[in-house]
Amino acid sequence: MLFGKNPKATLIRIAVLVTVCWVVFSFVLLPIRVTGISMLPTYPNQSLNLVNRLAYFWHEPQRGDVVSIRLTGLHGLFMKRIIGLPGETVAFVNGRVLINGKILDEPYEKLSCDWNSPPVTLAADEYYFVGDNRSMPQEDHAQGVKKRIYIVGKVLL
């Protein structure tokens, strides 16, 4: 009764479904759990999200994309927002992000901050990333420049 009138067809369907799920969750969608408050209020602590590893197969990351970045080893992934693109100069002045000397409009950044950092000019293959929770002390916040090869994919949801 569990397999219906055609058990062979049901078993084939189950095998295909298991194979497709294994391929998708092993090679395309990577689960990532937020640990910490650096992405508040957009992504709460301990929330589970999926990273689309094929998102940047046809185009490069854009400003404002939330991405997974490989910082350390195979399992050391961070979830951060891209604010600086290759060739741009990024700086923090009194809590505001300046891109090439112009203030960046950040609708996702809802918490005030007082960060200051000198301008950093990005190379042709570098991106500047930072979390959304800028109310944290700047020295406690993982941010900075990473090469394109360290971006694993785009966060979904």
Is 102 among the catalytic positions?
no
Active-site residue (options: 5, 8, 26, 38):
38
DSSP string, the chain: -TT-S-HHHHHHHHHHHHHHHHHIIIIIEEEEE--SSTTTTTS-TT-EEEEETTTTSSS---TT-EEEEEEETTTEEEEEEEEE-TT-EEEEETTEEEETTEEPP-TT--S-----EEEEE--TTEEEEE-S-TTS-GGGS--EEEEGGGEEEEEE-
Is 38 among the catalytic positions?
yes
How far apart are alpha carbons 128 and 34 in whole angstroms? 19
- 142's CB contacts (< 8 A; 6+ apart) are 38, 71, 78, 80, 131
Active-site residue (options: 68, 80, 146, 154):
80
Catalytic residues, by residue number, are 38, 80
